[in-house]
Amino acid sequence: MTIAPPLALPVKMIAIDIDGTVLPTRGTTISERNRRALQAVEAAGIEIVIATGRRQAFALPIVEPVGLRRETILISSNGSITRNFAGDLLDRSLVPAETARELCGLLRNYGSTVMTFDREGPGSLVIESLVTLHQRIALWVEANRASLVEVAPLERAFDGGECPVQAMVCGSVEAMQRAYAALRASALAPGIEIHRTEYAERDLCIVDILPNGCSKGAALERLAQQRGIRREQVMAIGDNYNDFDMMTYAGRPVLMANAAPELLLTGMECGWHTTGTNDEDGVAQVLESVCRDADEARKMNRV
């Protein structure tokens, strides 16, 4: 494990991914050590930002029990929506309904597509076939069943003109590589953002299609600018390809040791720092170091 030495400018904001980062490989409970470290960082006056591919309703039950302030920021749906834990909307981007309709036809040949809408309850997730989706990501389906509605064909989900937050297609790694390539080559490519999250050990890949200009990194940059925080004072901790933009924006990027292999290689080439795995409380290892640095800085200022 490598921890960066203190920067000349103190860290003022830390963006942290959920799955594969602050969560263990199995289970949906943040460890006690990670919880204490998150609370300690907040108590030290450093802003915590949760940045996840999950939608807000699927992320909050994971992070709320940590006990952070209600003003804590949650960047969800890979950067499409920014709210605080209290639910106040700060930023939101939507996929045009016509673009979403065209995506349905393009993605149908590659896997199970989910359209996410920024609404509460049933219909916030719209799919074409529950059975097909369940075969690929059963645990996710069960956790989100109350929000799922079937519409066939999926194009009819936009008959009312409502725009989704994002489209998601999932399947095997090989199938999603083909879907990713097809999206990049399509006429839709200039108007969308494409992010992937890959779990090679499960032969599962998720491709998210977002509004143009949306990513965790873009949302984090806007937030930092609003706060008057320089990128050199921003840390980002993540493990997968959808964290890449966040890592490249942050002045102090940290990769989990369990990160995707290609991302680890990129991190080594870029001089990014690496912490322990998610099952070793790698997030806490970094946050504890940040707290020690902040405490040392306070002591020096008192001398």
| pLDDT value of position 127 | 94
Predicted confidence band of residue 6 (pLDDT cuts 50, 70, 90): very low
Does domain 13-92+215-302 correspond to CATH entry 3.40.50.1000? yes
Mean pLDDT of 270-285: 97
| pLDDT value of position 1 | 44
Predicted confidence band of residue 8 (pLDDT cuts 50, 70, 90): low
For the chain, what are the domain ranges? 13-92+215-302, 97-211
| pLDDT value of position 133 | 74
pLDDT over threshold 90, residue 150:
yes
Q: Taking all residues of the chain, what is their mean pLDDT, rounded to a whole number?
A: 92
Predicted confidence band of residue 3 (pLDDT cuts 50, 70, 90): very low
| Residue 216 · residue 15 · CB < 8 Å | yes
- What spatial distance separates the first Cα and last Cα of the chain, rounded to whole Å? 32
Would you state the torsion angle of the CA atoms of residues 61, 67, 68, 72, taken in this order, to the nearest 10 degrees? 30
| pLDDT value of position 216 | 98
| Residue 25 · residue 31 · CB < 8 Å | no
Give the pair of three-digit tokens for residue 273.
């720092």
Mean pLDDT of 264-278: 96
**Residue 276 to residue 256: CA distance in whole angstroms:** 6
Lowest mean pLDDT among 2-11, 119-128, 197-206: 2-11
Q: Could you tell me the pTM of the whole model? A: 0.91
**What digits encode the pLDDT tens for the residues 10-66?**
999 999 999 999 999 999 999 999 999 999 999 999 999 999 999 999 999 999 999
Burial (0-12, 13-18, 19+ Cβ within 10 Å), 291: middle
**Residue 176 to residue 196: CA distance in whole angstroms:** 9
Structural class in CATH, domain 97-211: alpha beta
